[in-house]
Chain A
């Protein structure tokens, strides 16, 4: 057993975790979301993680809510309260309750006595029975059980009933019958709990004011919004979990913001492609014409896009690719999270290729990085991939309110105007480059003197076909320099130093919260460490410096093969002995305990 550290649990107000075990397709998601949103409105830092199956109806699904007055937003693995609504998983669920914790169950049916624990409290509420009495429609009876347990939780952990009722009013405005049913069910649960148990439980909520400048948003929605604000006009995609909601949201926002007020025409075009080969092809075609175009996909789609990513890289055509990572390889686990696409994205396609990657850690960065990705893609004339993941993309996060800088002007890169082309004696596509090794391009339809033939076949610096070694090398060598130059332009790493730090901890993306929490806990135990989160690839000098400055650095990431560590080994001069791995890749979001156990087990 590796040594471990107990998460802080001393204060019981606004510091606990609830897990809800449900059957998917029974309407639990909306009840759970309601609770989460109510807590957010109470001004309390809260995180919700939906651990759902790749299935439409009937399989186990869990929702975890962590309340942390200190703002920790990673998964907690200790549950103070389990809402056990799924008999299939009951045996597992009952074991996960922390000693001294509580388990809420539907007492309409008897519990399996073999699974009793005498170190936890059981709270039985006849949810099914109550709903059968109060509702006639069979579907409604099932749905309202969820709302009834939500009502019980309002009493047990002090979720403000007024806030919940307001939410129901907003949600079901115009759907009177639904609203009344929901309120009835909520009240049923609330009254039963108040009458039969000592409410509230020792751990519970209390109004705070931590969320005044915050919003509750998922990463996919934020990315879609970012693409709208960045001026993307063409989007091509093929449906795949967990990226589908990017395009759903993009469509919704476009309908809201991009319908021309005068002509009623759509100032955007969304193409549902026949596959991901086509989706990236469409993006490349549109970008070649000068549009800001993007696709969103997940691992299997990235695999398919490889061929054309090489074309865009070699022919120097911008493209923005959003990869909402899920568990691979192959179909893997579509509804589980992982950071397993770093390698394939960094070097996607055959031959010598290297791409620019951005690693957002939360929905706020998703929004900000969208415009960044288009600027980089257009300036460097190359594919840029935003690597989000299922945890960031599909879970609701409490993040600072998004902000758009109205002075922003898109960086369209070096694109020659008609007048500039006219003045040139002759246009040569890859000939003159700037200090970042980018050569000016021309767009079709502007001037016949600017015309050239895009090709993925061997070409020289003039854009002409070649099979001559020197001519070929000259171009690919410049591409390498261009990629290196982009290191200064990707978002800089986030670094947090602590006095007396003995080692470094490096991570990326959605591991951020868990790692930061772990470092606080380690410091409490007298083991301060420095923190760095990389936010882009290629790595900047700052990343190298951080690694050089520490005798060793733990690289925390969510994949089996230490892909981030491999990239650091290949793309920085840092010796591999300085890099130690903490790898968590089972498919659920990271928790501080994973990180602490991973680090402590190697600190001998």
Chain B
């Protein structure tokens, strides 16, 4: 992954966020992905999100596995620590990292190969543990880095560049996550920053694991006619099931563009763990983003019609995260001084009486 440094000169008129940082401060090195790769658009949305949220760069932990998608953490927030781990293992590494230091803000970037094949077990169990992190699957239906083999998310009938049709049923990360009890499930399209940024923002306020499946065309190996992960297909079949806004904590909830009648009704807003609010606007009839069963049937019905429903699809803030499950302290385990961890010789000697 050659990294190309970017010129650091900044335009003086660039807007600053609450930390006095410009959007350039949230960028990384120059991308070395293919021109037009969907992954780069997702990177841009992540940069935008962190900047708008005024997240302190040093508190961000950028985690990934292996693949074109997994390279992207070098392309955002240079001031954050990053961990480009091994193929499929990112969720396990984040789980341990998070156990040790829950104060960091974890974003995991993965691919459909990384998460749905080699790392499927780790993804599933990170969901079950509800590890607090934002988990982005940059889903292009192929293994980009190894040159275009079908991935597990390739739809039946989807054609490879060579014209071969996939005949095995796909693993849909959204359905999978819902069935595993995921507490934040979203899908978006790399070309739709308007939709993706608010979803990402909400995800960072989520109590546990926020899974975002982002359809992200691979222009080199999977953007042809007959592919169901191409730009054209995605644009034609994307169906915005939900549209949401994110209202940060402590901001007064006032009328927001697009919200029905200029106020938020109880049924369509969810208060997040940190006090922020996600407002759903223009939900389809009968859609309740907090009712797992209904979401499941709705998605199934839509997908059956060949649509790709997008948006923040399911949200549940009531489930404990990995730390609550383990009754760990509110601050990082790494901040506990050694003296508090080691019982000392007097305790040892007392205890050893049990071994007599």
Contacts and interface: CB of A to CB of B under 8 A. Distances in A.
Interface of A: 40-41, 215-217, 225, 228-231, 233-234, 236, 256-258, 260, 263-271, 273-275, 277-279, 281-291, 293, 307-308, 311, 401-406, 408-410, 442-457, 464-465, 467
24 contacts: A215-B356, A225-B348, A229-B348, A231-B341, A257-B347, A265-B327, A267-B336, A270-B326, A271-B322, A279-B92, A281-B95, A281-B122, A284-B96, A285-B83, A286-B97, A288-B83, A290-B334, A291-B101, A293-B100, A307-B86, A311-B85, A445-B104, A449-B79, A453-B84
Contacts of A264: 327
Contact of A451 (B78, B84, B101, B129): B78
Contact of B100 (A260, A273, A286): A286
B83 A282 contact: no
A236 B96 contact: yes
Contact of B343 (A234, A257, A279, A445): A257
A233 B334 contact: yes
A233 B329 contact: no
Given A258-B341, A406-B344, A454 B333 contact: no
B343 A465 contact: no
A239 to B, nearest CB: 15
Nearest to B56: A448
Nearest to B78: A451
B341 A267 contact: yes
Given A233-B333, A269-B322, A285-B98, 6 more contacts: A266-B326, A268-B328, A445-B104, A448-B57, A449-B79, A454-B85
B345 interface: yes
A281 B85 contact: yes
B100 A403 contact: no
Interface in B258-284: none
B74 A290 contact: no
**Which of B56, B58, B351 has the most C-beta atoms of chain A within 10 angstroms of its own C-beta?**
B58
Interface size for chain B: under 10, 10 to 19, 20 to 34, or 35 or more residues?
35 or more
A115 to B, nearest CB: 40
Contacts of B98: 285
B86 A451 contact: no
B3 interface: yes
Contacts of B203: none
B351 A464 contact: no
Interface of B: 1-3, 56-59, 61-62, 73-74, 78-86, 89, 91-101, 103-104, 121-122, 124-125, 129, 322-323, 326-330, 332-334, 336, 338, 340-345, 347-349, 351-352, 355-356
Contacts of A283: 96
Given A269-B326, A404-B344, A285 B92 contact: yes
Nearest to B351: A256
A260 B330 CA distance: 12
A267 B329 contact: yes
Contact of A289 (B57, B59, B79, B100): B100
Contacts of A217: 355
Given A41-B356, A267-B341, A289-B97, A456 B125 contact: no
**Which of A266, A268, A448, A453 has the most C-beta atoms of chain B within 10 angstroms of its own C-beta?**
A453
A444 B343 contact: no
A535 to B, nearest CB: 22
